[in-house]
């Protein structure tokens, strides 16, 4: 049910939509197919007008609706797997430039949050903000010990505004999904939920500070990347104090030239930093646009460094995600489309009944045109996007973290090629992919997995004798049985009952063999070494016989 405030907001939105000619796009949907004639009866459509492209009109509407909708458009622009290219590219132009709120208000918020006067913390605090965005604004300050800082302050009353507009977005998304097939593939309710999570996370500056600290810890010894330090003593959920960095914006090419920065090194270093975050740390900065990246020139022969800010949007990858990326990229490099298709089916990304040959043909049709050029000219981000779009046609659900990674990859790739047009992203990335694969497979992967899991195995080892005795008690008392819950497996019950004895014998034999190996590692001071050896041999022989019987029955 819409509240009075939401009804007024909806009327305001409707007025902006009409003014920008978006009613034409609304009437083009199948939902309004039978009443499309009404479009020509509306007074504002009586006079023919020259309209801008639909992407431009949608961007203009979002800009007029204000900061929350601008933010929504920015996030929506990353969903190029769902939106037409003309709309997603236009939404990527949205700029989060919002008029600042008074510095005196920011000062009051800080003093209330930290429960002290500003002068007790800062020697100097600039009331004029350095930057202003939809969620927060940033001021420069100097601590009483002389260190230069930036102070980020959440906008007053912004949470109430966000929740009002989010409620309206949820209602519109549900209506669109329920009444129109045009929005089925766009999944608007899911998009709004994803946006809500991102936006509410950005409201909590403690979370952003924790993100910054984690990234800084990951690159503590790096000679390429520098992450500013959080001043935790003065950081709260609505206030964050962080070291102020001094550097050249990465898109200020003339200033970089004047500072004698090697553009090839800078482009390749940016790619290396990105793939290190992804494959070494499984944790990456997901908002790497030029406004968040600076370069610190080297002094007295030191190497220059990349510096990053704004840690509101971070993402992480599971081992499964990384394996998906590494194996698929390497298969693409080798143009092994069958391998790509098999990987998707085997991993469960697409339904098990999917025909591998059909999926392979679809991938080949998308990728072959991309590979009809020098490897260095092929876009990593475009390739990943095309893969997502193809897989989605085969009912693959793309995880949000992979979409964030694709968006970040496009940003890094585009910026890298602006700096150095001959950048070969594949050549720079391939060592990271192959190193990760080598670490996770083969002998090295086995050794590493054993080292990682050995403490867990040792920790569980004392429980094995107790578990073995409990299992034997349950079997002797008739309490050991399988309980099938799936209806379709009821037909197999009789067959499983016949094989149950065989299974029990195999378990008993295996557990006796395990007991044998356990006793081999211990010298029992009560029984003595000879007795322990005899018991070990007896358990081993009995276990072997039982295992043998379980296979011949």
Helix (H, G, I), strand (E, B) or coil at 230: strand
Helix (H, G, I), strand (E, B) or coil at 13: helix
| 287 is an active site residue | yes
Residues forming beta bridges with residue 495, ordered by sequence position: none
- Which whole-number Å values give the CA distances from 387 to 80, 203, 445, in the listed order? 12, 33, 28
Q: Are 289 and 418 in contact (CB under 8 A)?
A: no
Residues forming beta bridges with residue 248, ordered by sequence position: 295
- Which whole-number Å values give the CA distances from 95 to 71, 74, 91, 404, in the listed order? 9, 8, 9, 19
Can you tell me the distance from the alpha carbon of 324 to that of 347, in angstroms, rounded to the nearest whole number? 8
Residues forming beta bridges with residue 154, ordered by sequence position: 136
To the nearest 10 degrees (0 to 180), the angle between helices 158-179 and 188-203 is 170
Can you tell me the distance from the alpha carbon of 208 to that of 520, in angstroms, rounded to the nearest whole number? 52
**Beta-strand relationship, 148-154 and 136-143:** antiparallel
Of 524, 527, 507, the closest CA to residue 467 belongs to: 507
Which residues does 147 contact at the CB level (< 8 Å), separation at least 6? 243
**Geometric angle at alpha carbon 358, from 354 and 362, rounded to 5°:** 115
Can you tell me the distance from the alpha carbon of 161 to that of 163, in angstroms, rounded to the nearest whole number? 6
Neighbours of 135 (CB within 10 A): 21
Helix (H, G, I), strand (E, B) or coil at 90: helix
Can you tell me the distance from the alpha carbon of 544 to that of 331, in angstroms, rounded to the nearest whole number? 44
Can you tell me the distance from the alpha carbon of 456 to that of 459, in angstroms, rounded to the nearest whole number? 5
- Active-site entry in 287, 377, 422, 531: 287
Neighbours of 469 (CB within 10 A): 12
**Beta-strand relationship, 314-316 and 283-285:** antiparallel
Of 184, 412, 165, 160, the closest CA to residue 285 belongs to: 412
Q: In terms of C-beta density within 10 A (0-12 exposed, 13-18 middle, 19 or more buried), how is residue 442 classed?
A: exposed
Backbone angles phi, psi at 451, to 5 degrees: -60, -40
As annotated, the active-site residues are: 287
């Amino acid at each position: 049910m819409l509240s009075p405030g939401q009804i007024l907001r909806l009327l305001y939105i409707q007025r902006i939509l009409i003014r920008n000619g978006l009613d034409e796009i609304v009437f083009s949907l199948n939902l309004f197919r039978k009443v499309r004639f009404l479009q020509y009866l509306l007074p504002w459509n009586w006079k023919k007008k020259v309209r801008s492209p639909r992407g431009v009109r949608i961007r203009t509407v979002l800009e007029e609706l204000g900061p929350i909708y601008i933010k929504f458009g920015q996030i929506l622009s990353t969903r190029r797997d769902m939106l037409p290219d003309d709309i997603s590219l236009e939404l990527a132009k949205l700029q989060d430039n919002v008029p600042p709120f008074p510095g005196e208000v920011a000062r009051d918020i800080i003093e209330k949050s930290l429960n002290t006067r500003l002068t007790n913390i800062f020697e100097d605090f600039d009331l004029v903000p350095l930057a202003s965005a939809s969620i927060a604004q940033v001021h420069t300050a100097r601590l009483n010990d002389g260190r230069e800082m930036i102070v980020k302050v959440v906008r007053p009353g912004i949470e109430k505004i966000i929740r009002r507009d989010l409620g309206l977005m949820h209602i519109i998304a549900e209506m669109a999904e329920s009444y129109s097939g045009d929005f089925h593939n766009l999944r608007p309710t899911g998009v709004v939920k994803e946006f809500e999570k991102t936006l509410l996370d950005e409201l909590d500056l403690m979370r952003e500070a924790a993100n910054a600290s984690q990234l800084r810890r990951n690159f503590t010894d790096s000679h390429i990347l520098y992450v500013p330090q959080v001043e935790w003593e003065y950081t709260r959920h609505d206030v964050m104090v962080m070291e102020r960095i001094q550097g050249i914006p990465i898109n200020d090419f003339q200033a970089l030239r004047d500072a004698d920065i090697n553009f090839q090194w800078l482009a390749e270093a940016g790619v290396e930093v990105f793939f290190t975050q992804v494959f070494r740390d499984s944790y990456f900065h997901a908002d790497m646009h030029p406004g968040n990246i600076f370069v610190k020139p080297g002094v007295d022969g030191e190497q220059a460094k990349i510096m990053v800010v704004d840690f509101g949007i971070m993402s992480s990858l599971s081992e499964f995600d990384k394996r998906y990326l590494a194996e698929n990229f390497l298969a693409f490099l080798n143009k092994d489309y069958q391998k790509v298709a098999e990987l998707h089916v085997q991993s469960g990304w697409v339904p098990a009944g999917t025909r591998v040959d059909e999926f392979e043909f679809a991938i080949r049709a998308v990728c072959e045109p991309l590979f009809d050029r020098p490897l260095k000219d092929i876009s990593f981000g475009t390739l990943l996007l095309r893969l997502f779009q193809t897989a989605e046609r085969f009912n693959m659900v793309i995880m949000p973290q992979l979409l964030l990674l694709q968006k970040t990859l496009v940003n890094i790739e585009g910026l890298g090629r602006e700096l150095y047009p001959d950048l070969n992203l594949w050549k720079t990335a391939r060592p990271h992919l192959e190193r990760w694969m080598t670490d996770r497979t083969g002998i090295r992967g086995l050794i590493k997995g054993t080292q990682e899991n050995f403490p867990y195995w040792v920790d569980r080892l004392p429980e094995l004798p107790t578990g073995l005795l409990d299992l034997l008690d349950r079997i002797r008392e008739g309490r050991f049985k399988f309980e099938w819950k799936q209806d379709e497996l009821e037909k197999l019950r009789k067959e499983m009952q016949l094989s149950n004895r065989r299974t029990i014998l195999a378990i008993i034999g295996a557990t006796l063999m395990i007991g044998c190996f356990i006793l081999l590692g211990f010298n029992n001071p009560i029984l003595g070494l000879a007795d322990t050896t005899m018991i070990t041999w007896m358990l081993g022989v009995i276990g072997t016989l039982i295992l043998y019987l379980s296979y011949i029955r």
